[in-house]
Amino acid sequence: GAVVSQHPSWVICKSGTSVKIECRSLDFQATTMFWYRQFPKQSLMLMATSNEGSKATYEQGVEKDKFLINHASLTLSTLTVTSAHPEDSSFYICSARQATNTGELFFGEGSRLTVL
């Protein structure tokens, strides 16, 4: 099946720094990618939808300037957590939709961010 890879899988940073997480579709083109945040014992919260070559669509309550999303190519989307704070610590998961009729979603392994 199609593979989506996230990098890094685990990152620790100091408060006030910025962290970039990459999401790549390895063997297919993804016209749309989604970024989710997963809290302990809670569901995945959709943060934003990104389409290649256009601005991301953010869900209500998600700070656009805090969570910068770039979808520069059909195989790569990045999430940058700017000026990270401890409350940003979480598990971030991306998913990519194939540019086919089925449009099936494939998920990355997730990236655990810990802000000290």
Cα(67)–Cα(52) distance, integer angstroms: 17
CB of 113 to another protein, least distance (A): 15
The answer to whether 54 and 116 are in contact (CB under 8 A) is no
| Residue 70 makes contact with another protein by CB under 8 A | no
Cα(100)–Cα(8) distance, integer angstroms: 28
Q: In this chain, which stretch among 12-20, 61-69, 77-85, 102-110 interacts with another protein, using CB under 8 A?
A: 102-110
Q: In this chain, which stretch among 13-21, 31-39, 64-72, 77-85 interacts with another protein, using CB under 8 A?
A: 31-39
- Given the DSSP bridges, would you call strands 44-51 and 30-38 parallel, antiparallel or unpaired? antiparallel
Longest dimension (CA), the chain: 43
Q: In this chain, which stretch among 14-22, 61-69, 82-90, 107-115 interacts with another protein, using CB under 8 A?
A: 107-115
- By CB under 8 A, the count of residues binding another protein is 24
Neighbours of 35 (CB within 10 A): 28
| Residue 107 makes contact with another protein by CB under 8 A | yes
Residue linked to tokens 């979480």: 90
| Residue 34 makes contact with another protein by CB under 8 A | yes
Residues that bind another protein (CB under 8 A): 4, 6, 32, 34, 36, 41-44, 46, 49, 51, 57, 93, 95, 97, 103-110
